[in-house]
Structure 1
Amino acid sequence: MTQIFAHRGYSSAFAENTMSAFIAAEKAGADGLELDVQLTKDGEVVVIHDEKLDRTTTGKGFVRDTTFKEIRKLNANKKGVNKEPIPSLVEVLEWMQSNQLVCNIELKNNLFPYEGMEEKVIQLVRRFNLSNRIIISSFNHYSIVLSYRTAPEIETAPLFNERIYMPWVYAQSIRAQGIHPKLASVTDEIIKGAIENGVAVRPYTVNKDADMQRLYKLNCTSIITDDPVKALKIKKQYEKRP
C-alpha cells in the first residue's frame, strides 16, 4: 500500500518545515514526513529548505552564516499570523518519540558541502533510537554513500532530477534501498522495475489528483506531497474501487 509522506510537513496549509506543519501532517494521517536539514554557523542541525533565509523566514543571508541563537529568533511563518521558529533536528526527533511516523531527512549539501553534517545527523538519529524510521536522502550522492558507510542500519535514497536508465541498478551499487525521483522524470516502467528489484520509489512532489491516482494504481512505495489530506482522500476513494 502506497505510503504518504508530507513534503516539508503539511506545507500546502502550514508554513513549510515548521513544527506546526509536521504536527498537522501527523494529525492528518500521513505515514511520514519529508524535511530538509542544514548547518548553522556554529554547527547546529536545523530544518530549513533554502540555503538562504530570505524566502521562508524574516531573516536575510545564508543559514551557514547565522548562529543557532540568531536563527531561533527568526519567524519561519513569514506570511502567517503566528510566529514559528525554525526547528532544530533535535526538536523534530524528540517529538517523533510520541508518534510512529517515518521521516525522510534530506541533506541540503549539494551547494555547500557542510562538513560533518552526515555524522551529526546520524548521531542524533541514533541518540533517539530512530534508525529504523529514518531515510536519509540527498542530491549529493557522495553524501549518501558516506551516510551508508557511517550507518549501514539507516536507509538511504538518492534524489534525482533527471531520468536515469535502470536507476535501481545504480541504487543497489551505492547500497541505497530507495530512489526519490522527480515526478516528471519517472515512468511507470521505472517504478515497476525498481519495485520488482526491491528498490523503493518515492517520487516528489505529487500534488495533482491524476498523478496520485496513477501512483496508487502502480502501487508505488510512497508519494511525497504538499497536501497529505488530499492524498489520503484520493487514496481512500481509490481503495474503494472494485
Structure 2
Amino acid sequence: MIPFLFILFLFIAIVLNHLYLWKPRDMSLFYNGNNPLWFAHRGASKTAPENTISAYTQAVKSGMPALEIDVIRALDGVVLCSHNFDLERKTDYDGYIDELPYARIEDANTALSWNSKREGLPKLEDVLKIVPKHVRLNIEIKSRSFHDVSLVRDVIKLIKGKNFINRTIISSFNPLVLWYVKWINPHVWTGFLYKNLDYFFLINVIHPDCLHTTAELVSENLVRFAKQHGFALNIWTVNTKPAIDWLVDLKVDGIITDQVEFLPN
C-alpha cells in the first residue's frame, strides 16, 4: 500500500508541476527592443506572390523586422513554404504537396495569378539562406490532422543548422505540434495559434511562449493576462491602420500584417 501511495503522490505532484508551476521562456532576445515587432504575413504578399523568395525579399527591403512563413512537408521530407496543402489554389499544378515528392512539384508556378511572373515553391532551407541576421522569423507549421507532427524535426533541424534558434518562433494551431517541439528542443520558442477560446486551457499542457490570437479576440483583459503570466502576445492578421494603432496603444508584443507599407519609419 505504501509504495502505491508514494507513486500516486509522485504522479500527482508531477502533473501539478507540469500544469501550474511553469513559466514561458523570456523572449527579450527575440523582440530585441521592438515594441511592437512587425511581422510581414507570408512576406510582402501585396506586391509579390505570397510565401515566395520575392515576397520575403521585398518585405525585408521595405524594413520589416520579421517574417511570417507557412511551411508544409513534401512526401519525401523537403520542407516547402506554402499556406495551402492543395496545389490548384495558387499554382498551375494539381494534387497535394504532402502527397507528392518535391521532384514532382518543383516546377509548379506559385505566381499563377501574377500575370507574367513565374516563381516556384521555395524550400525553407533556401529561404533561411537569404534572410538577414537582424530579421526574426515566425514559422507556422501546417498540419492536416491532429497527430501529424512529421514536420517538427525537419524544421528544428533546419533552424538549428542555420543558427536561427534564437531568431525563430515556431507556431501552429495544432497543440500536439507545439508540445512535440518542446519535447525535442525546449529552447525553441513556440506560439499557440488560436481563433476561439475552446482550446485555450491547453496552454498549461503545451507550454507556449507566445499567444498568437486573431485581432477579434484581443481585449485589455487578454493583454493583462499575457503580461501577468509572461506570455508574448502576437496578433494576426491586422490590416487596418486604426486596428494597428489600437494594438500599439495596448502594447502588444507583435503585429502580423499584410500591409507592410504601414510600418513606421
Q: Is the 8 A contact 1:110 1:140 kept in 2?
A: no
Q: Is the 8 A contact 2:149 2:176 kept in 1?
A: no
Q: Is the 8 A contact 2:210 2:233 kept in 1?
A: yes
SS at match of 1:73: coil
Measured at CA, do residues 208 and 19 of structure 1 come closer, stay the same or move farther in structure 2, by a change above 3 Å?
A: same
Scaled by the length of structure 1, what TM-score is found?
0.89
**Structure 2: distance between partners of 1:62 and 1:75:** 14
Residue number among 78, 83, 101 corresponding to 1:44 in the alignment: 78
2:121 equivalent to 1:89: no
SS at match of 1:12: coil
Measured at CA, do residues 200 and 19 of structure 1 come closer, stay the same or move farther in structure 2, by a change above 3 Å?
A: same
Shift of 1:171: 3.2
- When Rg is computed on C-alpha atoms for both structures, the one with the higher figure is 2
Superposed CA offset, 1:46-75 (max 9, x none): 010011011111111111122212221011
Partner of 2:101: 67
**Structure 2: distance between partners of 1:215 and 1:59:** 39
Residue number among 224, 227, 237 corresponding to 1:195 in the alignment: 227
Superposed CA offset, 1:181-219 (max 9, x none): 111122222023202321011111000111101101111
Q: Structure 1 segments of 4 or more deviating over 2 A?
A: 110-116, 169-175
2:249 equivalent to 1:214: no
2:43 equivalent to 1:21: no
**Structure 2: distance between partners of 1:74 and 1:195:** 44
2:184 equivalent to 1:150: yes
SS at match of 2:75: coil
Scaled by the length of structure 2, what TM-score is found?
0.82
172-181 or 220-229: bigger deviation: 172-181
Superposed CA offset, 1:10-64 (max 9, x none): 1122110001110111111111111111111211110100110111111111111
2:149 equivalent to 1:127: no
187-196 or 102-111: bigger deviation: 187-196
> Taking every aligned residue pair, what percent have the same amino acid on both sides?
30
Shift of 1:164: 5.9
2:259 equivalent to 1:227: yes
Superposed CA offset, 1:75-113 (max 9, x none): 1111112211110010111112x3311111111014475
**Structure 2: distance between partners of 1:110 and 1:133:** 26
SS at match of 1:216: helix
2:213 equivalent to 1:171: no
**Structure 2: distance between partners of 1:151 and 1:56:** 33
**Structure 1: distance between partners of 2:110 and 2:97:** 13
Amino acid at match of 2:197: R
2:220 equivalent to 1:185: no
Q: Is the 8 A contact 1:171 1:178 kept in 2?
A: no
**Structure 2: distance between partners of 1:115 and 1:175:** 17
Q: Is the 8 A contact 1:156 1:177 kept in 2?
A: yes
**Structure 2: distance between partners of 1:201 and 1:171:** 13
Q: Is the 8 A contact 2:149 2:180 kept in 1?
A: no
**Over aligned residues, Cα RMSD in angstroms?**
1.8
Q: Is the 8 A contact 2:146 2:176 kept in 1?
A: no
Count of equivalent residues? 230
